[in-house]
């Protein structure tokens, strides 16, 4: 399975923070925002990851992330010349997928929960599509799924004015190898975008869409506005300071997955400046 991080867009809700600067490179407490979705994919076992970004930001992402070697993965970079909806991601990465199953995650979404990676690994060989639901107080800002009394998904609406439920669909989607062909049949919505909700409705109509509530205790944060960004940073800070561990430290995930060695981490340490992040990595390998 190939992971896809959608890190394009204009970041209009964060203006002027994003004036000349990619939203997904803004800090969420002590790491660039994009580290969090990448970390989620790595926790789910994915080692081939495509980063979708804009033409003007591609070189910056390559400089910040490298080719993935230090994290035991392989990064590819795909260019989205004009952002036209989440589902457009599949036309952008078609040449990278080569008929494989995919997991798409939005670059401004932060997920955290006990055993999250282990829970997500079960969808690596999916037949159809797997999405998630999360109860929110403001469903009009998201794609919304409505359930029957026995928990079956009935409908999906994109940012409805009168939502049928309070269950939003977070920016994490698993698809089988048919997603490329399905995405090619999509038409732009009234908002002028290729909607991910339309793609999910295709799978729903075929009886091949599974919707799972994110487990209680799992946090999902959308960092698309200044207040959301601040809330996410405070959430990460609280967790890290109380627990003494870092959330989605990519070097740590790779090391614990067995994708890199103590020697690899020592090489990383030699090339980063003194600070709390370096001290954390030093402590990590000292424990082994």
- 89, 33: one domain: yes
Specify whether the CB–CB gap between 105 and 172 falls below 8 A. Answer: yes
Domain annotation covers residue 143: no
Q: What pLDDT is stored for residue 122 in this prediction?
A: 93
Q: What pLDDT is stored for residue 135 in this prediction?
A: 93
Which residue segment(s) compose the domain that 283 sits in? Answer: 258-288
Domain annotation covers residue 148: no
Domain annotation covers residue 134: no
- 9, 36: one domain: yes
User: Could you tell me the CATH number of the domain that includes residue 57?
Assistant: 3.90.550.10
- 105, 12: one domain: yes
pLDDT tens, the chain, 288 aa long: 999 999 988 778 888 888 888 999 999 999 999 999 999 999 999 999 999 999 999 999 999 999 999 999 999 999 999 999 999 999 999 999 988 999 999 999 999 998 888 899 999 999 999 999 999 999 999 999 999 988 899 999 999 999 999 999 999 999 999 999 999 999 999 889 999 999 999 999 999 999 999 877 899 999 989 999 999 999 999 999 999 999 999 999 999 999 999 999 999 999 999 999 999 999 999 876
- 94, 123: one domain: yes
Domain annotation covers residue 52: yes
Domain annotation covers residue 156: no
Domain annotation covers residue 162: no
Report the DSSP pairing between strands 2-6 and 102-106: parallel
In angstroms, the CA 259 to CA 69 distance is: 10
Domain annotation covers residue 149: no
In angstroms, the CA 157 to CA 107 distance is: 22
DSSP 137-204: S-GGGSEEEEE-TTS-EEEEEES-SS-S-SEE--SEEEE-TTHHHHHHT----TTSS--HHHHHHHHH
- 223, 276: one domain: no
Domain annotation covers residue 158: no
- 29, 122: one domain: yes
Q: Which two tokens stand for residue 137?
A: 């107080």
Specify whether the CB–CB gap between 70 and 26 falls below 8 A. Answer: no
- 106, 196: one domain: yes
Q: What pLDDT is stored for residue 81 in this prediction?
A: 93
In angstroms, the CA 112 to CA 219 distance is: 5
- 22, 100: one domain: yes
Instruction: Provide the 10 A C-beta neighbour count for residue 141.
Output: 13
- 195, 277: one domain: no
Q: What pLDDT is stored for residue 197 in this prediction?
A: 94
- 266, 238: one domain: no
- DSSP letter at 18 equals T
In angstroms, the CA 286 to CA 34 distance is: 27
Report the DSSP pairing between strands 129-135 and 143-147: unpaired
Specify whether the CB–CB gap between 94 and 161 falls below 8 A. Answer: no
- 174, 273: one domain: no
Q: Which two tokens stand for residue 204?
A: 């729903």
Indicate the number of domains in the chain. Answer: 2
Q: What pLDDT is stored for residue 168 in this prediction?
A: 96
Q: Which two tokens stand for residue 84?
A: 């036209």
- 109, 199: one domain: yes
């Amino acid at each position: 399975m190939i992971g896809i991080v959608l890190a394009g867009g204009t970041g209009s809700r964060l203006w002027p923070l994003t004036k000349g600067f990619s939203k997904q490179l803004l800090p969420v407490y002590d790491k660039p925002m994009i580290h969090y979705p990448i970390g989620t994919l790595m926790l789910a076992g994915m080692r081939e990851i495509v980063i979708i970004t804009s033409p003007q930001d591609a070189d910056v992402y390559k400089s910040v992330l490298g080719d993935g070697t230090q994290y035991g993965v392989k990064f590819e970079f795909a260019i989205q010349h004009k952002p036209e909806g989440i589902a457009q991601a599949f036309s952008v990465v078609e040449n990278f997928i080569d008929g494989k199953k995919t997991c798409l995650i939005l670059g401004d979404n932060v997920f955290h929960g006990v055993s999250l990676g282990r829970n997500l690994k079960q969808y690596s060989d999916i037949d159809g599509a797997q999405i998630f639901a999360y109860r929110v107080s403001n469903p009009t800002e998201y794609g919304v799924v409505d359930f029957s009394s026995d928990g079956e998904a009935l409908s999906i609406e994109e940012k409805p004015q009168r939502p049928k439920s309070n269950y939003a669909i977070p920016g994490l989607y698993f698809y089988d190898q048919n997603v490329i062909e399905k995405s090619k049949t999509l038409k732009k919505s009234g908002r002028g975008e290729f909607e991910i909700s339309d793609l999910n409705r295709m799978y729903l109509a075929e009886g091949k869409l599974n919707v799972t509530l994110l487990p209680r205790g799992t946090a999902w944060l959308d960092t698309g506005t200044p207040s959301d960004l601040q809330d996410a940073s405070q959430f990460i800070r609280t967790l890290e300071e109380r627990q003494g561990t870092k959330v989605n430290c990519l070097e740590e995930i790779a090391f614990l997955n067995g994708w890199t060695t103590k020697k690899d981490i020592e090489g990383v340490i030699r090339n980063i400046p003194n600070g709390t992040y370096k001290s954390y990595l030093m402590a990590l390998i000292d424990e082994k």
